[in-house]
Structures are given as structure tokens and as C-alpha cells.
Structure 1
Amino acid sequence: MQPKATDDEQVAEPLTKADFEALARFRFGIRRYLRFSEQTVRSHGLTPQQYQLLLALKGFPGREWATMSELADRLQLRHHSVGELVNRAQAQGLLHRAAHPSDARAVRVELTQPGQSALGRLSALHRDELRRMGTALTVPDWGETPDGAA
């Protein structure tokens, strides 16, 4: 009896040389952007993880704060790792904790004015870099997917 194929082992349409080139170009663009981001935030006294935390807070849909669990999900980190990250950012005055308005078990995490200022400066630099990069981060377009959806 044959073992069942996993999602990664499913029979897929073979890639062409152009497909590999598009994937490599996209991957290079991602890495180039991440390197820019890492160097930029470090030169402004933050770690890349702190910048991601501030951005996740400011960019949280519909409100200006998030819970630790929501941040863990947004950052794809474990809850305790987010707690340590929040502790370090709070010690630097970038954010603070507040009581959750309706759940006594949860804590709101909010940006402080210094956190807002740092995020504003860094995000403007990131936006400008993305503009300079142009189409380097455009997802390759392969047209129709194997399941027939476009």
C-alpha cells in the first residue's frame, strides 16, 4: 500500500526556467528589502523585532491597540516571546500596557508618543525604499493556478 502524498508531495506542474528566474528575482527582492529594514532600524536604535512590534500595533485593524495574543498572532511568535519583546520595548518607552476595556484577563498594548514618533520616521523610510525598489517585490504572475482559479 502506497503512503498518502502530503501537500508538498502533490503532483504539480513542472516549473520552467522562467518560473525559477521569477521566483529567484522575487526572493532576492524580499531579502534586499529585509536587509534594508534590518540596517535601517538598527541605525535608529531599535531591533527589527521592535520595529515589527510597533508596526503591528499601529497597523492593527480598527483600533490603536492590541492584546498580547493578537500581537503573538500578527508577529507569528509564541505568547511568552511577545511578552519579552513588549517588556523591552516598554523599558525603552516605546509602548505601555493598559487595562483591557472589557476583559480583565487581557492587557492592551499601546504605543507611546516616542513609539509613535520612532515608528513614523522608520515607516516613512521603509515606504520610500519600497518606492525605489519598484517592481522588485511584485509577486510573479503565473496566470491560472492548477485548480483553475485565476
Structure 2
Amino acid sequence: MAEPRLTEQHYQTLAAFRFALREFLSFSETAAREAGLTPRQHQALLGIKNAQHTGGASIADLATFLVLHHNSTVELVDRLVRADYVTRESDTTDRRRVFLRLTEAGEARLASLSSIHLAELARIGPILKDLLARMTDAAGS
């Protein structure tokens, strides 16, 4: 399959899409810090919450979700445990395995941040949708 001929429009669309993503990430990082979390702690809480519907997240699961090394993830979890946002619970079938759970404080902090993020996504969603449509159209040409 032949590669599409790149036009100025292609570059402008890609630049606008990357800019919109970066703006959202900047928004997210600022919101996390204002809530007293690092951006990585916020992402960890989100990953742990997301894994609760499948039985829970282990350190290895969280490391994969965060694209971190195991030892860095352990340090991150240690800080979240000290802050009373996360607990470690032993797997009842395999005592070597530990699952991470959000505490009430962790649930509350994540719910507050998630509400803010969903509102921001509702605001920028139409922009991202338009840019994605333009990129899809450009890829097909």
C-alpha cells in the first residue's frame, strides 16, 4: 500500500492533535498537584480503581499500567500507602501475591479528580473528535 502524500494540512492536523493532547496532559498534571498528588500518583489511583472490577491490581499489574519498573512501582505504592490512599491485601489463594485497594480517602480523592477530568474531556472532546476524523480522512487519501 502506497504511503499518502503528506501535505501541509496533514502536518497542521498532527500538530494540532499533539497540542490538544499535551494541553489535556498539562491540565491533568496541574489538577493532580492541586489535589495534593503527583501526576503519577493520580495515574496509579486510576489504574488501581480500574483493576478492581477484575479482582484487583497487583504491583506487577500496576507497573505494566504505568509503564514503570517493578521497584519504582513499589516505591510509588509505599508512598500511597503512607498517605492512606491505598492498602495492600494478600491474595487468599496465593499468599505471595498482594492486591492493591483504594482506601476511602483514595476513593474520594480519585472521584474528585475524575469529575474534573470528565468535565475537561467533555469540553475538548469535540475538538479531539474533529482532529481524529481529519487524521482518519488524511490516512485514507
Could you tell me the TM-score, scaled by structure 2's length? 0.87
Question: Whose relative contact order is higher, 1 or 2, with alpha carbons under 8 Å and at least 6 apart?
Answer: 2
Please tell me whether the aligned partners of residues 43 and 66 of structure 2 are also in contact (alpha carbons under 8 angstroms).
yes
Q: Does 1:82 align with 2:77?
A: no
Which residue in 1 is equivalent to 2:136?
141
Which residue in 1 is equivalent to 2:117?
126
Change (3 A) 1:61 1:108: closer
Gapped runs of 5+ residues in structure 2? none
Q: Residue 19 of structure 1: CA displacement?
A: 1.3
Which residue in 2 is equivalent to 1:117?
108
AA aligned to 2:137 is: W
Please tell me whether the aligned partners of residues 97 and 107 of structure 1 are also in contact (alpha carbons under 8 angstroms).
yes
CA RMSD, aligned part only?
2.0
Q: Residue 14 of structure 1: CA displacement?
A: 3.5
Q: How does 1:86-101 map to 2 (within 5 A)?
A: 86-101=77-92
- CA distance, structure 2, for counterparts of residue 51 and residue 23 of structure 1: 28
Q: Does 1:46 align with 2:37?
A: yes
Segments ≥4 residues shifted beyond 6 Å: none
* Deviation digits for residues 56-112 of structure 1 (CA, Å, limit 9, x no counterpart): 011127336200111111111111111011000111000010101322221111100
AA aligned to 2:50 is: G
Change (3 A) 1:142 1:102: farther
Could you tell me the TM-score, scaled by structure 1's length? 0.82
- CA distance, structure 1, for counterparts of residue 115 and residue 69 of structure 2: 29
Please tell me whether the aligned partners of residues 98 and 108 of structure 1 are also in contact (alpha carbons under 8 angstroms).
yes
* Higher Cα Rg, which structure: 1
Matched-pair identity in %:
36
Please tell me whether the aligned partners of residues 90 and 97 of structure 2 are also in contact (alpha carbons under 8 angstroms).
yes
